[in-house]
């Protein structure tokens, strides 16, 4: 099994993403509010040269992200990732989001 972690900057796409995951048979996800490092350091970034450049890249319209945790069977991973990309767009573009998976050795409390 795998844990899919999605940090979604395009929070307006959250509901559509959850519906798309449901449509491909993925029935559970945990969603939390989150904030990235650049946002937290926003006030201090002018004094740190590299963060001054990052500040210009940040979209001020998003003060927070949504982070999703999804436990998946191996055969669901590609379906989930394809759903994310289809719903939110190209993850290589700024202010879209990131995703990654982590192998899980043991899971209790949910039925997949």
pLDDT at 59 (0 to 100): 47
What is the CA 23 to chain-centroid distance, rounded? Answer: 19
> Vertex 110, ends 112 and 2: CA angle to 5°?
60
pTM of structure: 0.79
pLDDT at 35 (0 to 100): 85
pLDDT at 56 (0 to 100): 47
CB within 8 Å of 19: residues ≥ 6 apart: none
Residue among 90, 86, 107, 106 at smallest CA distance from 98? 90
pLDDT at 50 (0 to 100): 56
CATH of 2-35+64-103, one of 3.40.50.11540, 2.60.40.1930, 3.30.70.120, 3.40.50.300: 3.30.70.120
Residues in the chain where the model's pLDDT stays below 50: 56, 58-59, 61-62
Residue among 99, 96, 80 at smallest CA distance from 27? 80
């Amino acid at each position: 099994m795998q844990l899919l972690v999605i940090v979604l900057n395009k929070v307006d796409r959250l509901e559509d993403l959850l519906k798309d995951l449901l449509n491909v048979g993925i029935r559970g996800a945990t969603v939390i509010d989150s904030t990235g490092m650049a946002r937290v350091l926003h006030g201090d970034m002018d004094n740190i040269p590299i963060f001054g450049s990052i500040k210009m890249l940040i979209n001020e319209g998003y003060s927070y992200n949504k982070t999703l945790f999804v436990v998946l069977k191996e055969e669901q991973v590609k379906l989930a990732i394809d759903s994310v990309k289809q719903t939110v767009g190209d993850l290589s573009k700024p202010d879209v989001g990131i995703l990654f998976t982590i192998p899980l050795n043991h899971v209790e409390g949910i039925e997949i």
